[in-house]
Amino acid sequence: IMCASAKYNTRGPALIPRMKTKHRIYYITLFSIVLLGLIATGMFQFWPHSIESSSDWTVEKRSVHDVPVVKLPADSPIPERGDLSCRMHTCFDVYRCGINPKNKIKVYIYSLKKYVDEYGTSVSNTISREYNELLTAISDSEFYTDDVNRACLFVPSIDVLNQNALRIKETAQALAQLSRWDRGTNHLLFNMLPGGPPDYNTALDVPRDRALLAGGGFSTWTYRQGYDVSIPVYSPLSGEVDLPERGPGPRRYFILSSQMALHPEYRLELEALQAENGESVLILDKCTNLSDGVPAVRKRCYKNQVFDYPQVLQESTFCVVLRGARLGQAVLSDVLQAGCVPVIIADSYILPFSEVLDWKRASVVIPEEKMPEMYSILQSIPQRQIEEMQRQARWFWEAYFRSMKAIALATLQIINDRIYPYAAISYEEWNDPPAVKWSSVSNPLFLPLIPPQSQGFTAVVLTYDRVESLFRVITEVSKVPSLSKLLVVWNNQNKNPPEDSLWPKIRVPLKVVRTAENKLSNRFFPYDEIETEAVLAIDDDIIMLTSDELQFGYEVWREFPDRLVGYPGRLHLWDHEMNKWKYESEWTNEVSMVLTGAAFYHKYFNYLYTYKMPGDIKNWVDAHMNCEDIAMNFLVANVTGKSVIKVTPRKKFKCPECTAIDGLSLDQTHMVERSECINKFASVFGTMPLKVVEHRADPVLYKDDFPEKLKSFPNIGSL
Amino acid sequence: MQTRKKYIFLTFLASWLLLFLFGGDQLRRFSFFSGRKAEARRNWPRWTDRSLLKSFADAEELPRDGDPSLLSPRERRAAWLSVYAQSRCRMETCFDFSRCEKHGFKVFTYPQERGQPVSETYGKILSSLERSRYHTANPEEACLFVLSIDTLDRDHLSGQYVRNVDEKIRSFPLWNGGRNHLIFNLYSGTWPDYAGDLGFDIGQAILAKASFDTASFRPGFDISIPLFSKEHPQRGGDRGWLYQDSVPPRKKYLLVFKGKRYLTGIGSGTRNALHHIHNGKDIISLTTCKHGKDWEKHKDTRCDKDNIDYERFDYQELLHNSTFCIVPRGRRLGSFRFLEALQAACIPVLLSDGWELPFAEAIDWGKAAVVGSERLLLQIPSAVRCIHPERVLAFQQQTQFLWDAYFSSVDKIVHTTLEIIKDRLSPHRSRSRFLWNALPGGLLVLPDFSTHLGDFPFYYLQHGYSPSRKFTAFIRAVSQAGSLSQPILRLIQAVSGSQYCAQIVVLWSCEKPPPPSGKWPQTTVPLTIIQGRRQFSDRFFPFEAIQTDAVLSLDEDTSLSTSEVDFAFSVWRSFPERIVGFPTQSHFWDPEQGRWGYTSRWTNELSIVLTAAAFYHRYYHSLFTEYLPAGLRELVDGLAACEDILMNVLVAAVTKLPPIKVTQRKQHKELAAQHAECRDGAAGTPPPGQRSPSAPHSAPAEVKGTAGSRRFSQRQDCLNQLADWFGYMPLVSSQMRLDPVLFKDQVSVLRKKYPSLER
């Protein structure tokens, strides 16, 4: 079975066999044939389509009034009333959805018909503007299928958004004669205004049997949790009025009520609040003496003052959304659009998309009984939180309220998540506004675990041809008690590694991996041979680190397994003159990076470096043969939001014995190159993830006046 | 050779071209002629008159939704009370909120009646309730009531089944139709259908029940709890089995199940099919027919072979070595398996249709489990195979977090139940879903402290906040001298010299009134004096006066320099959830005495930072005072020199991480004049020299005088009592100390930012 996304290549960089010229021509021929075939098929696909659409062209130019008319006999069957016990596992036919690599349900829309009763009187308005928009959105989405046999979900084109605009029995009959109705199984109805006088039911009264209902205004008694979807009542003002997002800062009113048809009892309570708290509470009502031509919906009045609606909502911190005859109110959408924090007073109301949206972050819900305490409740909310709620409210509107398309797609996504729960959209994706998504990190190693010491670490030595120095490193590192395996990455394709017998004999397994290409990124490949969580990346010329120093580094890494733990630290600085980042290797009081010439880190970051490095950084590093360590520092800091840990006083890696200081010396070009890397990476990451700190880690008793022999790590080297 | 190939190539080319030409033509014609048929195969039409369509509700209708002739809201709510009762209960109709207003959220447990034994498990639940900070012995104060009648096992075939519950509860004067009552239940119904029937009328009581099915669950009212065994620990609880984040996160087996196969009856649908997915390699699904007395009667052809396979694998071994564990329904919807898999970090694959998942009101199970469908059992292998390793890694960690936060002990299960109910009482002061599902978990986050994430020490990174740039110095003064002592004056000077100091708060814990304001030194930052209640736990009271995120806790005789404070604060800003401080001590397990030992000697490790000089987040004051039960604070007030250990234990229990030691200046042991303490020695206030960071290496054994050794043994006692109360030892050891980057390096002093730390 093909997994769409499960790619976890564990094999090393493969050796690509040299093609024999003899075979080459075969390959080329084969390739060209395949290519031609592809082009041809592509054109097949393309051509007929354009013809089809041109043949449909006349059809497309149709009016809603030209759709076929269906006459419903008076005795045509009526579905059962909605079944309150329905759940996905009892009333939904999941076999229709099947398993598919994209984990997307397929939605079919019935074609539009006009339904009339026996006397030719129409059952309802054929279709409303909003329902047409909704169906268009579904049809344009990746959920859509035009093949009724492949569909998992069916959406009737019968418009039931507003119960008042339809005849209940006849609409039910129309539903029942849909070609795949089957007791309403897998059918989805959208309704925003349910119920009617006098009792205003909180769910659509049209008998609908097992059909799912996406309803605006459910109460806890009619909402079938995990089956129905609670949707907003769309406010047409969303499309008409452009309200730019208002930034944080004080607003003129604290509480505002803008609804026009409040029950007198509620209005009395609100007025009592106003009397108590003065001008910070504004209770608006409809305007009585507007001149003709001014749309009443766009004005609100308080005494003789006239306010523009919905603009006035932006003047208030909190906006009251009270229930009316129905629980769902279109004003909620206006309030969210204005970035005003809704104060929702509607007992038992199921908030829109509450299955996935965390309304506590965007609104205040107050029980009806507690209306008199509203002012003090709201005052207890910290200002910083109010600002976040305002931002959150606006985000909910932008993402899930602003258009019928947003409402339709969110509804389908919720149902999709139920059917493919293992591919469901996460809480964060649903709820975090873009600003939060951007500024926050979600650490892949979030659980505070201190890995067991017994596991040890794997040392990965990247080497080219300095065999003598390599052997010394191996001998030195093998003295570290917690070393569990040594892996030599032989990066030289022109030369074979020394014979087995020549390698130093050490107490832990030693493995040599040969690479296909001399690339720096080979050092950070997640080799299968690395079986421990902890990896010590070490260059083949780092011989100055003492065993105590390395063991201590490992112990520190255990306390910070999600960080880079290294020895010499480096710093990035903002160069005000050049207006760009600068690499600093001076001995400063701060660090923001550690060199990976010798550093401990979690194996997970190897995986990230190899497969998830943003942009072209990985190739860029391989091409420039430099800065792989800076790239690793960026990557880890970006994904964890945390600083590196520099251990011990070590400041440089130049070994005094080494006679020839090779290419990577601290000369001027090197510094310029390193600075360039930082600037390049910062632009690819779109931010500067590195964190600057003033501390380093030393053993508890480091340089304390205490007998050395009693110290765990007495032999810590100097600069 | 070459030419031949060329020909072959050309032939191919030509045939492709021909195919394309003819085929294209064919296809074109086909689609043209089937134009009628294609009508059904197209997108939703773009109607020519779509802009003329009427809106679903006309402009006036939407804002005027309201009918003054309707029932008034008050009448409607009154009417609801009678309509929405019993099986349709909701908080607003079946719960009396007014009971919780005066005294807050208090829980009363009925006194146990004689001759009315309760099961071990129910005993644990009752004692968890009594250990809760919400417990009250006075029914008048109570908001929530819990019966002393054991209602856990309502299978009338069971030995634990209590008879005549109806009669008994009706005789309780407090019962009141079950209003504001909470009833716990683990097993309901019996063979053959195991229906949700409890065998008595629960009336308007909230039901906290295991294996809840969505059909009988009253949303927002009842609570689904996990099924746990009678061995489930009262407190503490075993930790999860994930010790490391392996990469790749896959274990030996992909998916395992080992359990009974029901041949007949409820639940057999799924259990009878599980063996189909067994592949003997990475998917192990073993079933046995052996259960009940008469299994051989229903035995089928598979049984014998299955029974043999079944014995070949060990359940524990499978749990430890599998990435995913199937958790199917049994006869009832929930099973022990669920918690077992959760603890084992074996990602539960739930096959239990219609199960209201435990604490689903708070917990987002989609982050920790795969909620499968019983009907799609055969798709499960391919579905879990396709879950991306990154997601698997996150799932594994989330199982461990949830296990540890809400399930690992009876205490946690009961307290989670209580907190969920408490959150409903004032929705505006409740935890968001985020708080429940992020570390350290809902129980450790007090909405009464704040509902803003930025006010807690835990969420800075996840939400892109940073801790405040200033701190409050909080000095506890106990000296009796009428005038201020030299050390405190020096301390105030040093601390106020820090550019990050926002304010100084002095907690005056002496009988004598504090010196008049004129006697206090002039400082650039505001100085507030609070009169304390002279109790040890006082120093961690969440005083209003503390306004910054960071608190620098100090004793009056602590000696610190400005640069030490500055450096420690810069470290704290990197670790805002931990205690960051100077003098440290450590704990160890003493196998000879079989108890925890404590040492203040110089050691290579540390696990306790003395709060005589430490930075921590002010939220820990609230946790200390409000989260810990009163009994624990009384313990601390009784034992001298225990409150800072408790603080360390608390923070370690919350973070699971060790505290952080920063470097401190070496000083000559200050031979400070012995201050006369405002408490006498018997109360155990330590001699000042000992507590000051200037003398960290005075080993307890060497301490002269009885006060010192008494103090030492008291601290050891304290440590053991706390470990007992928590049910485990939360303290974590560290082997490192944080120093300035250039600390004691052979670098010019002029380069160094904190040169004075090296003296």
Same domain, B715 and B591: yes
**Rounded Cα gap, residues B550 and B147, in angstroms:** 44
Question: Which domain CATH number covers B275?
Answer: 3.40.50.2000
Report the pLDDT value the prediction gives residue A669, as an integer from 0 to 100: 84
Identify whether B705 is part of a domain: no
Nearest chain A CA: its distance from B183 CA (Å): 22
Q: Which of B238, B644, B724, B745 is catalytic?
A: B644
The shares of helix, strand and coil residues in chain A, as percent rounded to the nearest 5, are 35, 15, 45
Report the pLDDT value the prediction gives residue A60, as an integer from 0 to 100: 57
Instruction: Pick A698's closest partner by Cβ from B24, B51, B737.
Output: B737
To which H or E segment does residue A581 belong? Answer: strand A580-584
Alpha helices (runs of H) in B212-281, residue ranges in sequence order? 268-271
Report the pLDDT value the prediction gives residue A55, as an integer from 0 to 100: 41
Q: What is the DSSP string of A320-331?
A: EEE--SSS--TH
Whether residue A425 contacts residue A532, with contact meaning beta carbons closer than 8 Å, is answered with no
Annotation marks residue B644 as catalytic: yes
**Res B695 pLDDT > 70:** no
Average pLDDT of chain B to the nearest whole number: 87
Interface contact flag, B428 A296, Cβ < 8 Å: no
Same domain, B632 and B720: yes
Interface predicted TM-score (ipTM) of this complex, two decimals:
0.90
| Mutation target among B91, B213, B566, B741 for the A interface, most CBs of A within 10 A | B741
| Sign of the four-CA dihedral A540, A543, A547, A552 | negative
Report the pLDDT value the prediction gives residue A173, as an integer from 0 to 100: 95
Give the confidence band of A24 by pLDDT, cuts at 50, 70, 90: low
Whether residue A518 contacts residue A492, with contact meaning beta carbons closer than 8 Å, is answered with yes
In the stretch 123-142 of chain B, residues with CB closer than 8 A to chain A read none
Report the pLDDT value the prediction gives residue B106, as an integer from 0 to 100: 96
Residues in chain A: 719
Interface contact flag, A159 B56, Cβ < 8 Å: yes
Give the confidence band of A661 by pLDDT, cuts at 50, 70, 90: very low
Q: Which of B224, B242, B267 is the last residue of a domain?
A: B224
Identify whether B302 is part of a domain: yes
pLDDT tens profile B389-401? 999 999 999 999 9
**Rounded Cα gap, residues B195 and A164, in angstroms:** 41
What residues of chain A lie within 8 A of the CB of B16, using their CB? Answer: 33, 36-37, 40
Give the residue extent of every domain in chain A: 64-234+403-417, 237-402, 453-651+664-697
Give the confidence band of B331 by pLDDT, cuts at 50, 70, 90: confident
Report the pLDDT value the prediction gives residue A261, as an integer from 0 to 100: 85
Nearest chain B CA: its distance from A468 CA (Å): 31
Report the pLDDT value the prediction gives residue B608, as an integer from 0 to 100: 96
Q: Which of B408, B432, B453 is the last residue of a domain?
A: B408
Give the confidence band of A206 by pLDDT, cuts at 50, 70, 90: very high
**Rounded Cα gap, residues B267 and B333, in angstroms:** 8
Instruction: Pick A700's closest partner by Cβ from B246, B430, B605.
Output: B605
**Res A25 pLDDT > 90:** no
**Res A282 pLDDT > 90:** yes
In the stretch 688-747 of chain B, residues with CB closer than 8 A to chain A read 697, 732, 734-747
Identify whether B201 is part of a domain: yes
Instruction: Pick B40's closest partner by Cβ from A64, A94, A111.
Output: A111
Same domain, B219 and B257: no
Report the pLDDT value the prediction gives residue A39, as an integer from 0 to 100: 67
Give the confidence band of B27 by pLDDT, cuts at 50, 70, 90: very low
Question: How much of chain A exceeds pLDDT 90, in percent?
Answer: 75
Which of residues A316 and B190 earns the better pLDDT score?
A: A316
Report the pLDDT value the prediction gives residue B678, as an integer from 0 to 100: 45
Q: Which of B408, B424, B456 is the last residue of a domain?
A: B408
- B554 contacts: CB under 8 Å, gap ≥ 6: B473, B474, B475, B476, B491, B495, B560, B612, B613
The answer to whether B603 contacts chain A (CB < 8 Å) is yes
Instruction: Pick B65's closest partner by Cβ from A25, A221, A329.
Output: A329
What are the phi and psi torsion angles at B45 (to 5°)? -65, 150
**Rounded Cα gap, residues B153 and B167, in angstroms:** 18
From B53, which residue of chain A is nearest by alpha-carbon distance?
A129
Closest CA to B145 of B185, B184, B173, B182: B182
**Res A541 pLDDT > 80:** yes
Report the pLDDT value the prediction gives residue A440, as an integer from 0 to 100: 83
The answer to whether B373 contacts chain A (CB < 8 Å) is yes
CA B719 from centre of chain: 23
Report the pLDDT value the prediction gives residue B672, as an integer from 0 to 100: 37
Whether residue B188 contacts residue B198, with contact meaning beta carbons closer than 8 Å, is answered with yes
pLDDT tens profile A695-714? 999 999 999 888 888 999 99
What residues of chain B lie within 8 A of the CB of A550, using their CB? Answer: none
Helices (H) and strands (E) in chain B, counts: 23, 24
Q: Which residue, chain included where needed, has tokens 């689904």? A: B224
Interface contact flag, B65 A36, Cβ < 8 Å: no
Same domain, B195 and B264: no
Average pLDDT of chain A to the nearest whole number: 89
Q: Model pTM? A: 0.90
Q: Which residue, chain included where needed, has tokens 């008469």? A: B294
Interface contact flag, B46 A262, Cβ < 8 Å: no
What residues of chain B lie within 8 A of the CB of A147, using their CB? Answer: 41
Report the pLDDT value the prediction gives residue B68, as an integer from 0 to 100: 59
Report the pLDDT value the prediction gives residue A559, as an integer from 0 to 100: 96
Whether residue B729 contacts residue B596, with contact meaning beta carbons closer than 8 Å, is answered with yes
When pLDDT is averaged across residues B331-349 and rounded to a whole number, the result is 95
From A328, which residue of chain B is nearest by alpha-carbon distance?
B65
Give the confidence band of B2 by pLDDT, cuts at 50, 70, 90: low
Whether residue B582 contacts residue B560, with contact meaning beta carbons closer than 8 Å, is answered with yes
When pLDDT is averaged across residues B133-150 and rounded to a whole number, the result is 95
Same domain, B198 and B325: no
The answer to whether B39 contacts chain A (CB < 8 Å) is yes
**Res A4 pLDDT > 60:** no
What residues of chain B lie within 8 A of the CB of A47, using their CB? Answer: 24, 27-28
Interface contact flag, A365 B427, Cβ < 8 Å: yes
Give the confidence band of B421 by pLDDT, cuts at 50, 70, 90: very high
Window from A323-337, A635-649, B503-517 with minimum mean pLDDT: B503-517
What is the β-pairing status of strands A569-575 and A593-594? antiparallel
Q: How many CB atoms lie within 10 A of CB B74?
A: 12
Which of residues B108 and A197 earns the better pLDDT score?
A: B108
Identify whether B66 is part of a domain: no
Interface contact flag, B605 A235, Cβ < 8 Å: no
Same domain, B275 and B211: no
Q: A237-402 with A453-651+664-697: one CATH topology?
A: no
- Looking at the structure of chain B, the number of domains it has is 3
Which CATH number is A237-402 given? 3.40.50.2000
User: Which class is domain A453-651+664-697?
Assistant: alpha beta
Whether residue B685 contacts residue B632, with contact meaning beta carbons closer than 8 Å, is answered with no
Beta bridge partners of A488: A461, A512
Same domain, B207 and B257: no
pLDDT tens profile B208-254? 999 999 999 999 999 999 999 999 999 988 999 999 898 888 899 99
Same domain, B201 and B282: no
- A482 contacts: CB under 8 Å, gap ≥ 6: A453, A456, A457, A551, A554
pLDDT tens profile B565-609? 999 999 999 999 999 999 999 999 999 999 999 988 888 999 999
Interface contact flag, A331 B42, Cβ < 8 Å: no
**Rounded Cα gap, residues A531 and A508, in angstroms:** 13
Nearest chain B CA: its distance from A394 CA (Å): 18
Interface contact flag, A43 B41, Cβ < 8 Å: no
Identify whether B234 is part of a domain: no
When pLDDT is averaged across residues B285-290 and rounded to a whole number, the result is 89
Beta bridge partners of A459: A486, A536
Tokens of B669: 């042991």
Report the pLDDT value the prediction gives residue A346, as an integer from 0 to 100: 95
Domain that holds residue B132: 87-224
What residues of chain B lie within 8 A of the CB of A144, using their CB? Answer: 43
Same domain, B259 and B381: yes
pLDDT tens profile A118-159? 998 998 888 999 999 999 999 999 999 999 999 999 999 999
Report the pLDDT value the prediction gives residue B712, as an integer from 0 to 100: 86
When pLDDT is averaged across residues B460-483 and rounded to a whole number, the result is 87
Same domain, B387 and B268: yes
Report the pLDDT value the prediction gives residue B140, as an integer from 0 to 100: 95
What residues of chain A lie within 8 A of the CB of B243, using their CB? Answer: 449, 451-452
Question: Which domain CATH number covers B580?
Answer: 3.90.550.10
Q: In angstroms, what CA-CA distances link A380 with A3, B107, B429, B648?
A: 50, 26, 9, 31
| Mutation target among B466, B609, B732, B736 for the A interface, most CBs of A within 10 A | B736
Same domain, B508 and B619: yes
What residues of chain B lie within 8 A of the CB of A10, using their CB? Answer: 248
Identify whether B733 is part of a domain: yes
